């Protein structure tokens, strides 16, 4: 079943592409690619747990299918209690040094302190497009849905159906790198990053609390699946025929995103003048909605 936040127009465009498939569980959609002994599933593959056991032993799963464009979605219950130094992820990425990547990363914290929700996008190996948020909910109390929508026009990050960020494609008009041609996989993982993840590394992991476990429920990959090089031509043609205007956020979605960014955004690379010595990325002065 497609996530409710995906517009009908986007789904129609995706249905035009041979190889689009909907639904599936962790058994059918994913392989454990790192420390499989720290990964287990239940509920006939609909539920998944990933464990971080030590500073060198976490866990990762990867989708079996590669794709160019689509909507990927899962629900996550993050590590409760003292999660300092842990990073739980849900993201898409291509392979190779000059890879493309779209990130949701959840940086743990001391008991009673909020998680940091970290988003980023890489194109041809270049990132530095970070935007971070504090959650307006408890991400350890039950499951919350995280969705990445990737089209030739824009990338949108959603939490529980609310868009929190948009990154538009300004590659042709303004020379801003955008992921358009490298097939990606979907990934989820948990790993140790106590040297930087929590308050810039000031708070270390309490390994007496290990294992740290993140729980997932359901995975939806509504994607333009790749068979050799066919995905590049087929998906691009389908979405180009639809046009970017049909993929605009609604007024209600824009209002919700502006509420999140006004109240819960804690970092935006576009206003970090010190980091970039005042040489800000060209998209920072362009509309991102």
Q: Which residue has the tokens 């609909």?
A: 46
Is residue 113 packed enough to be buried (19+ CB in 10 Å), middle (13-18) or exposed (0-12)?
middle
> In this structure, how many other beta carbons lie within 10 angstroms of the beta carbon of residue 56?
9
Q: Mapping DSSP to helix (H, G, I), strand (E, B) and coil, where does residue 109 land?
A: coil
Exactly one of 101, 194, 225, 253 is catalytic; which is it? Answer: 101
What H or E segment, with its residue span, contains residue 9? Answer: helix 8-15
253 assigned to active site: no
Token pair for 75:
């629900």
Name the catalytic one among 29, 35, 105, 283.
Answer: 105
Q: Is residue 101 among the annotated active site residues?
A: yes
* Residues ≥6 apart with Cβ < 8 Å to 218: 25, 46, 47, 73, 74, 75
Q: Edge-to-edge, what's the strand order for the sheet holding 47-52?
A: 39-42, 47-52, 212-225, 67-77, 144-150, 154-159, 162-168
3-class secondary-structure state, position 39: strand
Q: Which of 86, 124, 132, 121 is nearest to 265 (CA)?
A: 132
Q: Which active-site residues does the annotation give?
A: 101, 105
């Amino acid at each position: 079943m497609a996530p409710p936040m995906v517009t009908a127009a986007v789904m129609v465009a995706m249905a035009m592409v041979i190889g689009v498939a909907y639904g599936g569980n962790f058994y059918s959609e994913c392989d454990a690619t790192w420390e499989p002994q720290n990964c287990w599933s239940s509920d006939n593959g609909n539920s998944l747990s990933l464990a971080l056991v030590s500073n060198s032993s976490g866990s990762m799963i990867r989708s079996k299918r590669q794709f160019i464009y689509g909507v990927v979605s899962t629900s996550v219950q993050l590590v409760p209690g003292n999660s300092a130094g842990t990073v739980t992820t849900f993201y898409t990425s291509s392979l190779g040094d000059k890879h493309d990547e779209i990130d949701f990363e959840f940086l743990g914290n001391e008991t009673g302190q909020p998680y940091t929700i970290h988003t980023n996008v890489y194109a041809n190996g270049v990132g530095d497009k970070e935007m971070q948020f504090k959650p307006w909910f408890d991400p350890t109390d039950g499951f919350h849905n995280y969705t990445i929508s990737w089209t030739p026009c824009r990338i949108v990050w959603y939490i529980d159906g609310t868009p929190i960020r948009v990154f538009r494609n300004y590659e042709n008009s303004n020379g801003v790198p955008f992921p358009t041609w490298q097939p990606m996989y979907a990934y989820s993982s948990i790993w140790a990053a106590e040297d930087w993840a929590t308050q810039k590394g000031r708070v270390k992991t309490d390994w007496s609390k290990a294992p740290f476990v993140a729980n997932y429920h359901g995975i939806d990959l509504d994607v333009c699946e790749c068979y050799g090089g066919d995905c590049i031509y087929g998906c691009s043609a389908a979405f180009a025929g639809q046009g970017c205007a049909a993929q605009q956020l609604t007024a209600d979605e824009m209002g919700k995103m502006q509420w999140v960014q006004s109240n819960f955004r804690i970092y935006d690379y576009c206003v970090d003048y010190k980091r970039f010595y005042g040489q800000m990325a060209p998209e920072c002065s362009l509309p991102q909605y």
